[in-house]
Amino acid sequence: MKSIVLKISVFILILMFNIAVVSPDTAFARHRTSSLRSKINDLDNDRVIELPVPILFGITPLNLYPNFGDPRGAEGGRTHEGLDIMAPKGAPVASPTEAVVTRIGKGDSAGLYVYTANPGGESMAYLHLSEFADIDEGDVLKVGEIIGYVGNTGNAQYTLPHLHYELHNDDGDPIDPLPRLTRIFPLKNKISGLEQALDEINDDDKKEELIDFVITKYRSDFLLAQTLNIALPSLITEALKNKVAEVGGITRTLRLGMQGDDVEAMQIALGVNADGSFGPITKSALIAFQISKGLIGDGVFGPVSRLALMGTAGVSTVGCTATTKYSPLTGAICPVI
């Protein structure tokens, strides 16, 4: 009897010792894993078939080209398991579905990366980012919420800025995302994603840098949002007024070969390199804009072009124009007008 009691006592002591030596870090890790799994389980069971391009502004399915499965590495020793999406450095990268952030880090090859769990058991990866948004592992993302910004970190440092985007099925196997990228983000998702990112940036210089970037590159999206009565963040509205005022303040007719601050203001509004010199690239961009507005494409910036550049007209009930490929309201391909 004493032997049995002794054995039971030893067993209890060992059990208590094992419980006691579980470190706070280990306990936290177990809780974190359980919490992460719970959030992932809350995602929809059905995958999202039609995905928006995961660049928040400026890139549509028409800008994509197939490169999944291309040879990579020395002598083509491996295949490309993602889709490279070319975009300007600093362009916001956003989640195309509701998602849970599962990993954030930096690797020699991947550079700055983010991994997410997505509906239907799928997962996605975003590589070569220039910087992260204000996100952490375990965060639940909404559609259009910014993950980070396009860059060329890791083994992409000698290439043009781009997003390496991966899509994995519920078995964890990489699949070609290109056939699924059939949409753009609806304009409301674009604006809400940008607004949240601005709210989370505490550094005023970084906030100003992002505002200047998006206003310069994607001004037409914000003008269209105003036309469609979609509320803009106050900081964007103020910056937009300044840009429009700059265009409205142009008094002379601008032509190829001219230089000056007014040329720079026009270039900013057109979304081309703003060096203040009216060269062939600026003229081509102006002609394309004029034609898109139903004007004579002569590449001369006069009063009619100035008024057109200060506003947006001819918008249909789904946000489409005669030259729009994807609806800014729904993100889907536009009907023929």
Per-domain residue ranges for the chain? 2-41, 51-183, 188-309
Query: Alpha helices, DSSP H only, in 111-203?
Result: 187-200
pLDDT at 27: 45
Using alpha carbons, select from 287, 266, 276, 163 the residue that is nearest to residue 219: 266
Residue 74, pLDDT score = 62
User: pLDDT value at position 323?
Assistant: 58
Q: Write down the pLDDT at residue 80.
A: 83
Amino acid, single-letter form, for residue 107: G
Give the DSSP H or E segment for 219.
helix 204-227
Pick the CATH number of 188-309 from 3.90.550.60, 1.10.101.10, 1.25.40.10, 3.90.226.10: 1.10.101.10
Q: Which of 105, 122, 121 is nearest to 113 (CA)?
A: 105
Predicted TM-score of the model (pTM): 0.74
The Cα–Cα gap between 212 and 232 comes to 15
What pLDDT is attached to residue 23? 45
Instruction: Give residue 14's pLDDT.
Output: 47
| Positions of the chain with pLDDT under 70 | 1-32, 73-77, 244, 311-324, 336-337
- pLDDT computed for residue 225 by the predictor: 84
Instruction: With CA atoms as reference, report the closest residue to 129 among 164, 100, 179.
Output: 164
And the tokens for 76?
């083509």
pLDDT for the residue numbered 149: 97
CATH architecture for segment(s) 51-183: Distorted Sandwich (2.70)
